[in-house]
Amino acid sequence: MAGDGLPRIAVVGAGIFARTQYIPRLREIAHLVLLKTIWSRTKPRWGDAGLEEIMGDASISAVAVVLAGQVQVDLSLKMLKAGKHVIQATMEAETALSVYNSFPNQFPYKPIWALAENYRFEPAFVESRKLMSDIGDMMNIQVIVEGSMNSSNPYFNSSWRRNFVGGFILDMGVHFIAGLRMMVGSEIATVSSISRHVDKALPPPDNICSLFQLENGCAGVFVFAVNSRTPKILWRVDGTRGTVQIERGIASGKHGYQVLFTNENGQCQTTFYPFCGVNEELKAFVHDIVQANKDGDHKAEPRSSYVEGARDVAVLEAMLESSAKQGTMVQVKKF
């Protein structure tokens, strides 16, 4: 914490998402946090020495790790071990959590490990969760994702997404699972899935269809095509007294989510929520690191918890495991 009372944060990574989302969003909340350093692997003068400099700089209290999935967890653990609070997207989970939980209590606070790129902070999902109590008992759930991961997408040629098992299904799918879990408020217990490799321009698999069952007994389907001619993303829950649906869309030139709530009388209420999840998650992260530095026992905002990310990944991993076993039912690992 600096003399002006604002925490300092470093961004590790300067790729597409860091440049187009994190750095601009951090500048928008400059009254809450100061961006002190940007580390890039493409600039040799930063390299390992630059990372050591960030870890050793007492004025930097937090780090946003925005790197390839294969390396970001190891780097995040190094930063956490150095006493830095960390926010990052989630990929690898079980081993990383075990290492994090085993860290000795060598600081006045437990470094916060927060989850980034997190649909739980999108207002559409926050508000839809509240509407769930108005639709009665859940009868069925649909999650339909027809993606647009083609050569015009800036992430299409991302090498790291092509070089691990699960490819785009895992990298993109965790967000859709996060939205589902946030919306229904019940954990996914079992899955039975079939995946295929249809579009040879994409790494396998690029299509997956899964039947899942929640712990509360309700069943649903998760259908995901990484690239489709008719892009569409929606979550829909049908209840005994109404339905709630979230669909990706555009209104007044802004990208976001359309929330449709239909009550038992058949009346439909529609509300549009522009994207602002990155802003909200960063503001929550800054609040948490300020509180953690004051109170060593402060816990991160539950939606930010890295455990939530581990649970999202566990669902996708169970789906891929089921597919490898020709659709055999698989229990989702619990965290």
Q: What percent of the chain has pLDDT over 70?
A: 91
Residues 137 and 226 in one domain: yes
Contacts of 229 (CB under 8 A, 6+ apart): none
Residues 101 and 227 in one domain: no
Residues 97 and 141 in one domain: no
Residue 45 has pLDDT above 60, yes or no: no
Residues 221 and 86 in one domain: no
Residue 166 has pLDDT above 80, yes or no: no
Residues 77 and 153 in one domain: no
Residues 97 and 245 in one domain: no
pTM: 0.87
Task: Look up tokens 């001619």; give the residue.
Answer: 229
Residues 72 and 164 in one domain: no
**What is the chain's mean pLDDT, rounded?**
89
Domain contains 2: no
Domain contains 300: no
Domain contains 305: no
Structural domain range at position 187: 120-275+312-331
The enclosing domain of 246 has a CATH number of 3.30.360.10
Domain contains 180: yes
Residue 57 has pLDDT above 70, yes or no: yes
Total number of domains in the chain: 2
Q: What is the pLDDT of residues 113-136, one digit of tens each?
A: 898 888 999 999 999 999 999 999
Q: What is the pLDDT of residues 259-318, one digit of tens each?
A: 999 999 999 999 999 999 889 999 999 999 888 878 776 677 899 888 898 899 999 999
Residues 182 and 147 in one domain: yes
Lowest mean pLDDT among 19-23, 217-221, 242-246, 268-272: 19-23
Transcribe 175-224 into DSSP letters. HHHHHHHHHH-S-EEEEEEEEE---TTSPSP-EEEEEEEETTS-EEEEEE
Residues 214 and 317 in one domain: yes
Residue 108 has pLDDT above 80, yes or no: no
Q: Which of 89, 111, 133 corresponds to the end of one domain?
A: 111
Q: What percent of the chain has pLDDT over 90?
A: 64
Residues 222 and 251 in one domain: yes
Q: What is the pLDDT of residues 183-207, one digit of tens each?
A: 999 999 999 999 999 999 999 999 9
Q: The dihedral of CA 151, 153, 158, 161: what is its sign?
A: negative
Q: Which of 53, 98, 103, 46 is nearest to 80 (CA)?
A: 103
